[in-house]
Amino acid sequence: MNVSRFRARELENRLHLPLEGLFQQMPPKDLEFLGWMKVWADRGLALIYGTVLTAWGFLITRTTFDLFGVSAADLIVTLLTILMFAALQLEFHRMDRHARSSAENVIQKSLSKRGGQ
């Protein structure tokens, strides 16, 4: 997705539009949510997907524990839910960093090819 954004921004630059295009007006990536958490589009998606997947995990875990009559299920399910949410956020963040570095490599190759022509 990062490469697509770069290419769309590059096309807008080359078209010399009278107004800035959609990709030229991307919001800054340093917006702060609640004054402490930096948020951008990919992190927003990670928060949404992480929350939804954690909710499903909570429902499945809670139902399973209830079916087998596990005592102290409330505490165990709460801890598992918190751990699941944290693990999902870390994984989404790792995936975002990997995608961003891959996109930067593609962009650099594209720019170097263009400079050599």
The pLDDT tens digits of the residues spanning 50-59 come to 999 999 999 9
Residues whose CB is less than 8 angstroms from the CB of residue 46 and which lie 6 or more positions away in sequence, other chains included: 88, 89, 92, 93, 96
Q: Is residue 18 part of a domain?
A: no
Q: Per-residue pLDDT for 92 more than 60? A: yes
What's the rounded Cα separation, in Å, for the pair 20 and 11?
12
Number of domains in the chain: 1
**Cα 14 vs. chain centroid, distance in angstroms?**
29
- Residue 84 confidence (pLDDT): 95
> Torsions phi, psi of 32, nearest 5?
-110, 130
- Residue 100 confidence (pLDDT): 72
Q: Is residue 16 part of a domain?
A: no
pTM (2 d.p.): 0.64
- Residue 18 confidence (pLDDT): 72
Domain around 46: 29-116
Residues whose CB is less than 8 angstroms from the CB of residue 58 and which lie 6 or more positions away in sequence, other chains included: 77, 81, 84
Q: Per-residue pLDDT for 19 more than 60? A: yes
Q: Comparing C-alpha atoms, which of 52, 38, 37, 40 is closest to residue 84?
A: 52
Q: Is residue 41 part of a domain?
A: yes
Residue that wins the pLDDT comparison between 2 and 65:
65
- Residue 24 confidence (pLDDT): 67
Q: Is residue 23 part of a domain?
A: no
End-to-end CA distance of the chain: 26
Could you tell me if 107 and 88 are in contact, meaning their C-beta atoms sit under 8 angstroms apart? no
Strand partners, 31: 39
Tokens encoding 102: 């891959």
